[in-house]
Amino acid sequence: MKIVFFGTPFFSAYVLEKLQYSFEVLAAVCPPEKVSGRGRKIKACAVKQKAEELGITVFQPKNLKDSDFINQIRNLEADLFIVVAFRMLPQELWKIPQQGSVNLHTSLLPNYRGAAPINWAIINGEKQTGISTFFINEKIDEGNIIMQEKIELDKNITTAQLHNIMMKKGADLLLESIQNIEKNALNPLIQQIRETDKKAPKIERDFLKIDWSNSAVEIHNLIRGLSPILEDDSLLKDVAICPSAWFYLLVENNKKIRVKLLLSDLENISHTLESNSILTDNKSHLKIAVKDGFVNILKLQMEGKKAMDIKNFLAGFQFKDTFTVC
């Protein structure tokens, strides 16, 4: 099976490497380089870096409808296109391969169609999500489903942790899907699209700020749904998928300090404290009172500082009774 691969981030690069062990990857298509970071340096995306490491030809079209690019791809005579975390392909491109174009999506379709399915499943407090492979058609994430796999979620899993689970399971599911396409052992399922399907739109910047008038569960789910924290307490490098929830700490002279809240747990207990109240012993714990309990802060990152667990943070920063959050 000869494949052309389309992708951008580390998630895609991992899948690309796994697929090239079993199939002939003729080329990888990814976006042109962008200037990024504080040094405004030009850096290749993860898929380009991985493709070059593996000796795979790379295409970086500015316009996917460019006739020269389309002719180059057509001349490769690929059997199948594989798309993982890439932009929407135009019809003149996804219709090229005889076996079709396949997308890996990080949800149980038709729920959570859109740009941020991993985040929204956690933000909405789902107990189960999954991954899907499907044939691309003219509508976004609405093609016929090839295969799906369910993933159980616990109440504290972060987006970074789920990202890595889906990355590994997704590579395996794609491998199996391609093998079934090759054997003509498929029975694709037509998606039944409903108005009640849950959506996964792009996470907008304004959504990242914590609203302390929400419930403890809603705040905890927002924090972990945007959290870059992995199982070993390291940070996922792909900050685009884990932008982090944040709040302002109001200190002396009404000065606001922006704080990212990276990890939390919650206490659903009644209390008589005012919402936004800060409780801390300035040694080992810090929690914020909300209307139906407390949000315990386990790991945070002050503006301009490194991420820290709460004990290390409190060793160098002391809260006063006048401090509040907003």
SS3 call for 63: coil
Please tell me the predicted confidence (pLDDT) of residue 240: 87
Structure confidence by residue, pLDDT tens digits, 175-185: 999 999 999 99
Nearby residues of 180 by Cβ (< 8 Å), 6 or more positions away: 146, 147, 186
Question: How many other C-beta atoms are found inside a 10 Å radius of the C-beta of residue 255?
Answer: 9
What integer best gives the mean pLDDT of the chain? 95
Show the DSSP H helices in the chain as ranges. Answer: 10-20, 46-54, 67-75, 91-94, 117-123, 159-182, 216-225, 310-316
- Partners of 218 in beta bridges: none
Question: Domain 205-325 is of which CATH architecture?
Answer: Roll (3.10)
The pTM of the full predicted model, rounded to 2 decimals, is 0.95
pLDDT, averaged per 10 consecutive residues of the chain (326 residues), comes to 97 97 98 74 91 98 97 98 97 97 98 97 98 97 98 97 98 98 93 95 96 97 98 88 96 93 94 90 96 96 94 94 91
Same fold, 2-182 and 205-325: no
Q: Which CATH superfamily is domain 2-182 in?
A: Formyl transferase, N-terminal domain (3.40.50.170)
pLDDT at 24: 98
Write the DSSP symbol of residue 80: E
Domain extent listing, the chain: 2-182, 205-325
